């Protein structure tokens, strides 16, 4: 049996190089672990590639989940500055602000209440009447009656964020192994054995700790963690420029270079990553309703959101000290990824997560 990387820190294998795995590897490497990051693929995960990267503001109360969410949101600005220093990569963190749009009086009433609730919980929020909305977003059709603006909404580029985290981790010694599928994990006394399948053959490697960050595929390695793949599709549109994150009817539009990125659709079709005509039609109809003239769809992408059984991510040790899982971030993995990685790294290196993680156990 081959022995894994050796170093003075614990030898940790992070399985799955999506945003959660890349974040975990980054913080582990910072803390002095000898990290190996493995993925069955050899490029950015399809989920990150199709993700919008919206960082919706925090508006919750003071419970453990809301405070975790708030810290996830707050981490992005300083992390983006640090990653720029460490790697020279601009991860595209931008405090764009978000606007929820109203197209009829019913929607306007609901959004006004939403503004009041946010203000009462300490979030920044304001109601924009029709003419203020038009000044803020000149490309919108005249059908929009107004909107609720949330200045603390932001955006980060998911692929650039993942790349910067991985490059920074590699600079601190992380070994990245692509086209390597972990087919089995066997917890042992004081460690784990991982069975690997690669083009060159199969082998078993030993590590002190394994972290499963395989997103929608988590059930294959950790059957006690119930996560379902929910396909989401997003498209790059040309011919319209937006300034904010615009939201309506469950979809978003936001600026991405010279394009406007619109998404994401929701359907459950197992592990199917194909893009569909139905999604194309849905995104085009939505854009046609919001913008005048209607923009044209240039490119469509699909990813698989990992949907947990009980609505919240699972971030927990499975075997005390040697096997961890961090998955099920569903629609908020880009927002929650970095802080999730930070907490898991602290848990492994210091023996405690440093905060109340009871909302994220399997049996919660
Ligand atoms: C259309 C769309 C829009 C979205 N918009 C947003 C948004 O605005 N804001 C936000 O915060 N989130 C958003 N999300 C959600 C976010 O993208 C996901 O929650 C996040 O990317 C999940 O990351 P992950 O690392 O858990 O999983 P993944 O990115 O899927 O990574 C898992 C990795 O594990 C690898 N893997 C699987 N099995 C194995 C194995 N056995 N061995 C080795 N490797 C393995 C896979 O190849 C994959 O690379 C969106 C998602 C979609 C699809």
pLDDT at residue 162 is higher than 70: yes
Interior angle at CA 224, CA 222 and CA 227, nearest 5? 80
Beta strands in 160-310 (DSSP E): 175-177, 180-188, 191-198, 201-207, 209-212, 227-238, 245-248, 251-256, 259-263, 296-308
State pLDDT tens for residues 254-263.
Answer: 999 999 999 9
CB 291 within 8 A of CB 283: no
127-136 contact pairs (CB < 8 A, 24+): 128/99, 133/99, 133/101, 136/99, 136/243, 136/244
Model confidence band, residue 88 (pLDDT cutoffs 50, 70, 90)? very high
Residue 1 is predicted with a pLDDT of: 39
pLDDT at residue 5 is higher than 50: no
Task: Say yes or no: domain 2-90+158-226+309-360 is CATH 3.50.50.60.
Answer: yes
Where in the chain are all domains bearing CATH 3.30.9.10? 98-151, 228-308
Model confidence band, residue 4 (pLDDT cutoffs 50, 70, 90)? very low
* Helix/strand/coil for 62: coil
Contacts of 267 (CB under 8 A, 6+ apart): 230, 231, 278, 279
Nearest CA to ligand 1 atom 52: 51
| φ, ψ at 32 (rounded to 5°) | 100, 10
| Interval 111-124 mean pLDDT | 95
Q: What number is the ipTM of this complex?
A: 0.99
CA of 292 to the centre of ligand 1 (A): 33
State pLDDT tens for residues 311-361.
Answer: 899 999 997 779 999 999 999 999 999 999 999 999 999 999 999 999 999
Mutation test of ligand 1: which of 17, 45, 197 has the most ligand atoms closer than 8 Å to its C-beta?
45
Nearest CA to ligand 1 atom 12: 332
Residue 7 is predicted with a pLDDT of: 52
Q: CA dihedral defined by 164, 165, 166, 172, rounded to 10 degrees? A: 110
| Interval 91-120 mean pLDDT | 97
CA of 139 to the centre of ligand 1 (A): 31
Model confidence band, residue 283 (pLDDT cutoffs 50, 70, 90)? very high
Nearest CA to ligand 1 atom 49: 45
| Interval 82-95 mean pLDDT | 98
The mean predicted confidence, pLDDT, of the chain is 94
| Residues facing residue 308 across a β-bridge | 227
| Interval 22-42 mean pLDDT | 97
State pLDDT tens for residues 238-251.
Answer: 999 999 999 999 99
Residue 258 is predicted with a pLDDT of: 92
Residue 310 is predicted with a pLDDT of: 82
CA of 44 to the centre of ligand 1 (A): 9
Residue 321 is predicted with a pLDDT of: 79
| Interval 83-100 mean pLDDT | 98
pLDDT at residue 237 is higher than 60: yes
Q: Which residues line ligand 1 (CB under 6 A)?
A: 15-21, 38-41, 45, 47-48, 50-54, 181-182, 213-217, 220-221, 232-234, 263-264, 303, 305-306, 327, 329-335
| Tokens (6 digits) for 132 | 């203020």
CB 31 within 8 A of CB 349: yes
CA of 312 to the centre of ligand 1 (A): 15
pLDDT at residue 68 is higher than 90: yes
State pLDDT tens for residues 286-302.
Answer: 999 999 888 999 999 99
Nearest CA to ligand 1 atom 28: 18
Q: Which atom of ligand 1 is nearest to the CA of 263?
A: 1
Percent of the chain with pLDDT over 70: 98
Which residue, 320, 313, 312, 310, is CA-closest to 348? 320
Residue 251 is predicted with a pLDDT of: 98
Mutation test of ligand 1: which of 272, 280, 305 has the most ligand atoms closer than 8 Å to its C-beta?
305
| Interval 74-103 mean pLDDT | 98
Residue 267 is predicted with a pLDDT of: 96
| Interval 162-179 mean pLDDT | 97
pLDDT at residue 190 is higher than 90: no
Nearest CA to ligand 1 atom 2: 51
Where in the chain are all domains bearing CATH 3.50.50.60? 2-90+158-226+309-360
* Helix/strand/coil for 147: strand
Residue 364 is predicted with a pLDDT of: 62
CATH number of 98-151: 3.30.9.10
Mutation test of ligand 1: which of 13, 180, 215, 265 has the most ligand atoms closer than 8 Å to its C-beta?
215
| Orientation of helix 158-171 relative to helix 19-30, angle to 10° | 30
State pLDDT tens for residues 130-139.
Answer: 999 999 999 9
| Tokens (6 digits) for 264 | 């994401």
Nearest CA to ligand 1 atom 26: 215
CATH number of 228-308: 3.30.9.10
């Amino acid at each position: 049996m081959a022995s894994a990387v050796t170093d003075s820190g614990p030898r940790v294998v992070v399985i799955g190089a999506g945003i959660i795995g890349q974040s975990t590897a980054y913080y582990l490497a910072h803390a002095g672990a000898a990290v190996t990051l493995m993925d069955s693929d050899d490029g950015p995960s399809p989920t990150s590639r199709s993700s919008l990267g919206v960082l919706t503001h925090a508006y919750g109360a003071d419970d453990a989940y809301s405070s975790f969410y708030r810290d996830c949101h707050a981490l992005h600005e300083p992390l983006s500055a640090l990653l720029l220093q460490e790697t020279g990569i601009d991860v595209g963190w931008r405090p764009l602000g978000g606007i929820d749009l109203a197209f009829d009086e019913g929607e306007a009433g609901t959004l006004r209440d939403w503004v009041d609730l946010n203000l009462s919980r300490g979030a920044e929020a304001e109601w924009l009447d029709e003419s203020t909305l038009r000044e803020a977003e000149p490309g919108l059709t005249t059908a929009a009656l107004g909107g609720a603006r949330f200045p603390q909404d932001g955006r980060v580029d998911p692929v650039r964020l993942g790349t910067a985290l991985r490059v920074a981790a590699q600079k601190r010694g992380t070994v990245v192994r692509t086209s390597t599928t972990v087919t089995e994990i066997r917890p042992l006394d004081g460690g784990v054995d991982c069975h690997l399948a690669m083009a060159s053959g199969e082998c078993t490697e030993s590590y002190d700790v394994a972290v499963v960050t395989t997103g929608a595929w988590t059930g294959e390695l950790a059957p006690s963690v119930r996560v379902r793949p929910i396909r989401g599709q997003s498209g790059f549109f040309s011919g319209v420029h937006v300034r904010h994150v615009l939201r309506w009817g469950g979809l978003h539009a936001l600026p991405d270079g010279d394009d406007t990125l619109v998404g994401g659709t929701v359907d459950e079709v197992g592990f199917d990553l194909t893009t569909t005509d139905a999604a194309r039609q849905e995104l085009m109809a939505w854009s046609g309703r919001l913008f005048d003239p209607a923009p044209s769809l240039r490119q469509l992408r699909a990813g698989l959101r990992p949907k947990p059984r009980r609505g919240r991510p699972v971030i927990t040790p499975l075997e005390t000290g040697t096997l961890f899982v961090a998955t099920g971030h569903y629609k908020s993995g880009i927002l929650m990824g970095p802080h999730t990685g930070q907490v898991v790294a602290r848990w492994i290196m210091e023996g405690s997560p440093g905060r109340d993680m009871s909302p994220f156990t399997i049996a919660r």
